[in-house]
Amino acid sequence: MATTSFLPKWVTRANSAILSIMLSALSIVAVLFLYYSQNAFLEAFEAKTYDLRFRNMRGAIPLEPSIGIIAIDDKSIAELGRYPWTRTEYARLLEKLKAAQAKAVLFDAFFPERENLVSDQKFAAATKKAGNVVLAVLFEFDKDGQVKGVTRSLPEIERSALGVGHINLQPDEDGVNRRSPLLVEFEGKTTPSLGMMAAMLALDEKEYAADSFEVVLGERHIPVGENYSMWVNFTGPPGGYPRFSFTDIVNGRIPAEQLKGKVLFIGATALGVYDMRVTPYHGNTPGVEIHATIADNIISDRFVRQGGLEALLDMVFIVVLGALAYFLTTRLRLYGAIPATTLLLAGYIWFANYMFEAGHWINIIYPTLSAILALLIGGSFRYLVLERSAREMRSMFSSYLSPKLVARLEKDPEAAKIGGDNKEVTVLFTDIKSFTTFSESHPPQEVVSRLNEYLGAMVQVIEKHDGTIDKFIGDAIMAYWGAPLSQPDHAKLAMSCLVAMAERMDELRAKWKSEEKEPFAIRCGLNSGEVVAGNVGMAGKKMEYTVIGDTVNLASRLEGTAKYYGITYLVGEATYTGAPEVCRYRELDKIRVVGKHLPVTIYEPQVGLGAMSEMQLERFRSGLALYRERKWIEAKTVFSMLLAELPSDEPSQIYVERCDYFVENSPAPDWDGVFNRTSK
């Protein structure tokens, strides 16, 4: 018997499964390394998810109501003339804001050059009188990130202000502003950002403390990273904060109550002033709005955190999603694992967005990459190596095995142990009675049509009962249960199938009669026992999975023996013992078939339209008992009475004839009641 392996010689199912696990684990470790090294390419993609979460997932959030913007807008330029304006206009603005009792005024602008003595002094005096003005400074950095210069207002103007705040922003390499340094160190001093200064004034906080991971302002702990940079929690598209036109305030067109208690940023919103920045929400966002947003984040205590906790969660999800994606390939195979992993990642992205709304930025790109790599590397390996055996198994068995069993073989191809193995099975043989005569008396086309109808019906019944169709031998069918997959209840399955086959044959015969076609009947033999199961044939040429052995031979003999007894169905003792409850049986005889020394007890299942009543079965059992007790006359009387009821019952007729023979020819003293079959 030839042996077929569905895996390469160097690969066993066990070590290939281990190898696929190792490949998936290696892909997860590789992603962890990329995460640790902060791969620039992947970081750029993750930054895009930051934008996406603001713009398309979370959306806008409520604004801090105390913040407003005094806009240097097109309307103001049209009324006051070309920008920049004389400092006298700024002095007028501060006077109006002082009168309106604004909380704080912050200039997203500086005044580094002298205009004239009168204007400069007037502006400085108005600034000092207001007592709540913060001016801007701008630091210049070298390529190493060190401050190499600073631009600020004239000393006398700066001295008159309450303080200064830097207006440096920190766009990423793609030009998008996502973070901003809260503090800049220069010449031993730290300068807060304009937005942080606004928050300090709004919260009446005069001191702050800073370390590597946070800036503490009163009760607020602001998360920061390298160079005290803070991720900006953008509140929405530009234009959200109330805007007051510079000229409207200067000319008294804004009611004082709208300005009272406000933290007001003064900055350009007109496109021609060229202070537009790119943010996750828009490519043309006034820079002053970013400073306002930073102040909003601090005042409302709403930050985006990406610290130790978030890093730990990132690494956990890199491992967990990668492992789950690989696990799905082991349970669903690659084509099922792909949509399942897609759903898994969709759920993770939902969770990441939920955490983002709660202020925690957990990574999307690296865990997603981990899942995809584990799926493609580990899953593809399983598909190319392990599942190839399942595909070959399906190719081999799908034509004669039930879909349910094929599915089981695909999940565990080695369960069949292809290549010669001892199996406990039940074997079935069927044959059409007098098929030669039928085929000689009917046209070939009708013979083939009727045969296909019969075989198709029987195949459906066998597959429904999880049987394996071995082959068609002309009009005969050979099938078995218990191989290639073990089936502990193989005898019950086979007998249940026999009952269904009998019912289906009765339906077919009734159908043929209604169509005025000559019906035919079948014979069937079943036997259970041990066989050798495996592939036979020539490797690479013609291979066939089958079962061989004495059990198979006896099943074939029983089908032929049914003809001798004039019955339709005949089963061996082992099959009867394995499925006594499936139907009623008639113990028919003890026989010794050709080529066998040990006798077997044979049984006729009482199935189909010709089944005997319980009273008739009891009468036959009593006649059989008398026969085996050598009470020939009494036994003949019982069998004759049964024949009177069932004139066509050939087993009873056989026993009548045997009783007559033994009356004249008494058997030997050691006679065991066994009938020796002399033909197949």
Could you give the CA distance from residue 9 to residue 49 in angstroms, rounded to a whole number?
Answer: 46
Domains of the chain, residue spans? 13-34+44-56+307-395, 62-300, 398-611, 612-680
pLDDT tier, 386 (very low <50, low <70, confident <90, very high otherwise): low
The helix (H) or strand (E) run that includes residue 278 is: none
* Cross-strand partners of 164: 135
Instruction: Give the tens place of pLDDT for each residue, 201-221.
Output: 999 999 999 988 999 999 999
Whether the pLDDT of residue 387 is over 80: the answer is no
Determine the pLDDT at residue 491.
97
Half-sphere exposure of 344 (CA within 13 A, CB side): 25
Determine the pLDDT at residue 19.
73
pLDDT tier, 9 (very low <50, low <70, confident <90, very high otherwise): very low
Determine the pLDDT at residue 329.
80
In the predicted model, what is the mean pLDDT of the chain?
88
One-letter identity of residue 473: I
In order of 101, 231, 244, 264, 266, the CA distances from 292 in angstroms are 19, 14, 14, 9, 10
Could you give the CA distance from residue 435 to residue 160 in angstroms, rounded to a whole number?
Answer: 119
Whether the pLDDT of residue 389 is over 80: the answer is no
What stretches of 515-585 show up as alpha helix (H) in DSSP?
A: 550-565, 573-578
pLDDT tier, 610 (very low <50, low <70, confident <90, very high otherwise): confident
Instruction: Give the tens place of pLDDT for each residue, 304-341.
Output: 999 889 999 999 999 999 999 888 887 776 678 889 99
Please state the pTM of the whole predicted model.
0.61
* 3-state SS class at 243: strand
Which among 322, 337, 334 has a CA at the least distance from the CA of 385? 334
In this structure, whether the domain defined by 398-611 belongs to CATH 3.30.70.1230 is answered with yes
The helix (H) or strand (E) run that includes residue 500 is: helix 490-514
Label residue 138 exposed, middle or buried (CB < 10 Å: 0-12, 13-18, 19+). middle
Half-sphere exposure of 182 (CA within 13 A, CB side): 32
